[in-house]
Structure 1
Amino acid sequence: MRNYLNGFLGLVDERGVFLDPFDGMNVRRPAQEGSADVGDVHAVPFILECKDVKNPAVPTWLRQARIEARNAGFPYGVVVHKVRGLGVRAGRVHFDVRTWTRTRTALGLSSRDMADRYGFTASVRGLDSGRWYLTTTVAEFAALLSHMRAGVNARAVR
């Protein structure tokens, strides 16, 4: 995940070596220190909680990602779930509704534009909106991350 995002964002050379090892925008795997978990991967402004399991528990993972984002001092926490037998690009990135809405607002997009532009689908589980989430692929998330970092109004990006 880390290597894919660094490559997509142009932060590494053809051998995967950081162009600027001191750049705070490099996607990194933080060292876990103390009792407060800070997520598996830091991709400013997101922390990524990465999962490689057969049976998903997305709502539980999203609660974990929110806590870890807060612990790390990041505004957004999302979950990346590996799809077995497929490459990293096909992995699933899950957003809770609040994080998705805040991200959408930061990009200046309507709900429909956000869903269409980045390939999001919704999972609505019962009446408890705390169990609802939106999902896209790692490839689409990489584009979203790039747009967030550029501070662009995504309506203008084609």
Structure 2
Amino acid sequence: MANPNKAQGTRWESDVRDYLNEALGLVDEYGTFLDPFDAHNVRRPAQEGARDVGDVHAVPFVLECKDVKRPSVPTFLRQAEVEAHNAGFPYGVAVVKARRLNVRRGKVYVGIRTWTRARLALGMTTREFAERYAFTASLRGADTGRWYMATELEPFARLLADVRALRHAQ
């Protein structure tokens, strides 16, 4: 019998991948890639070797997907950032399932450093960036390593599209 927690996590990773591919217009009405060779297709990479490269690749983001009752966001973010580095991607974020809600309502957590780098890449003010992508702050104590920003998967898909458009224009 397969591990039910692993199956639950795999299902969440697949739901996130499928939602982002649909939101970004990368698949047809049947969920088939429009261009299977497009590097921008959101994928679940095969794990190879000792260095984990994350659960979902959405260039230029690595998503660490979690389906847990009690999220440990700072730990998830550290893991996402290490895995983004291992995969050679500039941004790592954590995506946590919101119980009994549609996948688009999944919580996306972004560390302050990653959030700031993405904001500066888009040339937006803090207020513009927070409002456009519906971010809220979680500032826990004086240790900035535990601070993060949160949004949902739906506005994150807009952020992903905007970052990709900027990179394509350069």
What interval of TM-score do these two structures reach, taking the shorter chain for normalisation?
over 0.9
Q: Determine whether 1:5 maps to 2:20.
A: yes
Equivalent residue in structure 1 for 2:100, among 85, 91, 95: 85
Higher helix share: 2
Q: Distance in 2 between matches of 1:116 and 1:23?
A: 30
After TM superposition, the score normalised by the length of structure 1 is 0.95
What code does the residue aligned with 1:60 have?
Answer: T
Equivalent residue in structure 1 for 2:111, among 96, 100, 117: 96
How far 1:101 moved relative to its partner? Answer: 0.1
Count of equivalent residues: 152
CA deviations 1:117-147 (Å, max 9, x no partner) are 1100000111100000000000000001011
Q: Distance in 2 between matches of 1:26 and 1:116?
A: 27
Equivalent residue in structure 1 for 2:136, among 121, 124, 129: 121
Equivalent residue in structure 1 for 2:120, among 99, 102, 105: 105
1:138 matched to which residue of 2?
153
Q: Distance in 1 between matches of 2:101 and 2:23?
A: 18
The gaps in structure 2 that reach 5 residues or longer are 1-15
The gaps in structure 1 that reach 5 residues or longer are 153-158
Give the superposed CA RMSD.
0.8
CA deviations 1:94-134 (Å, max 9, x no partner) are 00000000000011100011111110000011110000000
1:151 partner SS? helix
2:53 partner SS? coil
After TM superposition, the score normalised by the length of structure 2 is 0.88
Q: Distance in 2 between matches of 1:144 and 1:41?
A: 16
Q: Percent identity?
A: 66
1:17 matched to which residue of 2?
32
User: Which stretches of structure 1, 4 residues or more, deviate above 4 A after TM superposition?
Assistant: none
How far 1:7 moved relative to its partner? Answer: 0.5
